[in-house]
Amino acid sequence: MISIIDYGMGNLHSVRKGFERVGADVRIVTEAAEIDAAEKIVLPGVGAFRDAISTLREKGLDGAIVRAAEQGKWFLGICLGLQLLFDVSYEDGEYEGLGIIPGKVVRFDFAGRDDEQSLRIPHMGWNELHWQRDVPLFRGVPQGTHVYFVHSYHVVPSDAQVVASRTEHGGDFVSSVWRDNVMATQFHPEKSQKWGLAMLKNFAEL
Amino acid sequence: MLAKRIIPCLDVDKGRVVKGVQFFEHVDAGSVAECAKRYEQQGADELVFYDITASHEDRALTLDILKDASERVFMPLCVGGGIRTLDDIRVMLNSGADKVSINSAAVLNQNLIKEAALRFGSQCIVLAIDANRVMRDGKEFWEVYINGGRKPTGIAVMDWVKKARQDGAGEIVLNVMNADGTKAGYDLEMTAAVSDAVNFPVVASGGAGNPEDMFAVLTKGKADAALAASIFHFGNYTISQVKQFLNDRGVPVRQDFIERK
């Protein structure tokens, strides 16, 4: 059973339907106790970092998420659900994150480059995934597969060993991370058609 | 490298897909579910639903269609037509839309884009512009139109685009009315001018008749994505044919559906 955390940030509907399409059992959870009892956890999210982290804290879910990651439960963060795992985000200020993965979240910055105008922010659309490690989430998915992104900020891990994939947008950025039981993607598997669904299936089958 | 997107637009009226030639005569091109599925199989990068009637009864139908589509196809969905308030936006996002496209309401309430971007994030707020080349005082004027292209506003396209940038819009869909539905090609000059004025994605709309038109707007027209309806709905070209054409000419497209040589 996969538990998707609902904290009021964004479209859970597609994530849920994506898992259902690949035959997984899913439920939506809203309470810390449910996260403590869960087997596998998905943290989705779209919107502003500040709103998301303050909502998680208000609802008392932050501690449960950290515990779940520490206890070795399979964990998948998507988009903002990736960024929230980091120590700090500089999205419209400076906000402390969950601190599960060391590092920071920064805005794409192409100021002063000759090709600045062509490097769009948000980074929105389909871009290629490149990885060097045998990431469980990507099993059976071809190298260089296009997946769907929509974001203006990206993560910068302090430990290069957690990098699962990189993607090019005015230079390489980290498009997913993986450390032990914790995996998280900047792109949206639930919006990435068949290869995205293949990743959800991989997660469901872990 | 970020791929250029090909986006079919489904103009929806009472649960059916229609496409008007220059906005007026509507011809039925099929059911929404059929179209969405067919376009996913062909490699559409995104789908746009445009609710062209947007009366209260039809609005409920559009929400049903959106929900249904978001359960059948796994790609970004954008919905537009008749969205006037923050509440309308919230309802659409909760019904499975990833982005909402705002047109007339942004003119009528000039704080809407800014408030929506703050509330929901720039990434889901699309400003749709119906632009028309008109003559004013003996000179050409690029003018913003509203109400489905029926009402001129006196607003200059480039001023409107700059305001969108300041207000935090995440994307612009530029539909040039003189070209729309004619299949005579996109307006490359206006599209490139808009694209140069912003640092977020610009989607070209209106006028696609063949793959060459799409190639032109994605290169010379500097668009990030090309939106089209007629040429796909009636089966003149498939999306995969267009992508193959673009790929062969060096335009970065999503590699699924491209035959490797």
Alpha helices in chain B (DSSP H): 32-42, 56-72, 86-94, 104-108, 112-120, 157-167, 188-197, 211-219, 230-233, 239-248
Q: Across chain A, how many H-helices and E-strands are there?
A: 6, 13
Q: What is the CATH number of the domain that holds A193?
A: 3.40.50.880
Write the CB contacts of A155 (distance below 8 Å, at least 6 apart in sequence). Answer: A82, A83, A86, A101, A103, A104, A105, A173, A174, A177, A186
Q: Residue B140, Cα to own-chain centre: how many angstroms?
A: 25
Rg value, chain A, Cα: 16
pLDDT tens for each residue of B102-134: 999 999 999 999 999 988 889 999 999 999 999
CB B129 within 8 A of CB B110: no
Min Cα–Cα distance to chain A from B164, Å: 14
CA distances B158 to A68, B72, B154, B163, Å, are: 51, 38, 12, 9
Token pair for residue B237? 């070209």
- In this predicted structure, the answer to whether residue A77 has a pLDDT above a threshold of 50 is yes
A176 beta partners: A165, A185
The answer to whether residue A190 is catalytic is yes
Closest CA to B104 of B146, B55, B149, B152: B146
Token pair for residue B75? 């790609």
- Measured between CA atoms, the residue of chain B closest to residue A196 is B74
Strands A123-128 and A95-96: unpaired
Q: Which residues of B touch A193 (CB under 8 A)?
A: 40, 73-75, 256
Split into its structural domains, chain A has a count of: 1
Cα–Cα distance between B211 and A120 in angstroms, integer?
Answer: 24
User: Which tops the pLDDT comparison, A127 or B184?
Assistant: A127
The pair phi, psi for residue B137, each rounded to 5°, is 50, 45
Closest CA to B175 of B245, B125, B223, B239: B223
- In this predicted structure, the answer to whether residue A70 has a pLDDT above a threshold of 70 is yes
Min Cα–Cα distance to chain B from A71, Å: 32
- Measured between CA atoms, the residue of chain B closest to residue A170 is B1
Asked if B123 and A124 come within 8 Å (Cβ–Cβ), the reply is yes
Identify the band that residue B25 occupies on the pLDDT scale cut at 50, 70 and 90: very low
Of A122, A169, A197, the CB nearest to B74: A197
> B96 — contact with chain A (CB < 8 Å)?
yes
CB B186 within 8 A of CB B206: yes
Alpha helices in B121-210 (DSSP H): 157-167, 188-197
pLDDT at B218: 97
> A166 — contact with chain B (CB < 8 Å)?
no
pLDDT at B216: 97
Query: What 8-state DSSP symbol labels residue A60?
Result: T
Closest CA to B173 of B260, B16, B50, B34: B50
pLDDT at A128: 97
Strands B171-176 and B202-205: parallel
- Measured between CA atoms, the residue of chain B closest to residue A120 is B200
pLDDT at B23: 38
Identify the band that residue B34 occupies on the pLDDT scale cut at 50, 70 and 90: confident
Q: Which residues of A touch B196 (CB under 8 A)?
A: 117
User: Which tops the pLDDT comparison, A150 or B23?
Assistant: A150
Q: Residue A52: enclosing H or E segment and its boundaries?
A: helix A49-58
- In this predicted structure, the answer to whether residue B28 has a pLDDT above a threshold of 70 is no
User: Which tops the pLDDT comparison, B259 or B177?
Assistant: B177
Task: Find which of B190-199, B232-241, B249-258 is predicted with most confidence, using mean pLDDT.
Answer: B190-199
Query: What 8-state DSSP symbol labels residue A161?
Result: G
Identify the band that residue B30 occupies on the pLDDT scale cut at 50, 70 and 90: low
Token pair for residue A13? 């509907």
> Structural domain of residue A167, as residue ranges?
2-204
A64 exposed, middle or buried (CB, 10 Å; 0-12, 13-18, 19+)?
buried
Asked if B3 and A146 come within 8 Å (Cβ–Cβ), the reply is yes
> B221 — contact with chain A (CB < 8 Å)?
no
Asked if ipTM goes beyond 0.95, one says: no
- Measured between CA atoms, the residue of chain A closest to residue B92 is A11
Q: Which residues of A touch B257 (CB under 8 A)?
A: none
Span of A5-14, A57-66, A91-100, B147-156 with lowest mean pLDDT: A5-14
Measured over the CA atoms of residue A64, residue A65, residue A66 and residue A69, the dihedral's sign is: positive
Q: What is the mean pLDDT of residues B9-32?
A: 64
> B1 — contact with chain A (CB < 8 Å)?
yes
> B243 — contact with chain A (CB < 8 Å)?
no
Query: What 8-state DSSP symbol labels residue B17?
Result: E
Q: Tokens 């249904």, residue? A: B68
A114 exposed, middle or buried (CB, 10 Å; 0-12, 13-18, 19+)?
exposed
Q: What is the pTM of this model?
A: 0.93
> A60 — contact with chain B (CB < 8 Å)?
no
- Residues of B with a catalytic annotation lie at 11, 130
- Identify the three-state secondary structure at position A201: helix
Q: Which residues of A touch B4 (CB under 8 A)?
A: 125
CB A176 within 8 A of CB A85: no
Query: What 8-state DSSP symbol labels residue A71?
Result: T
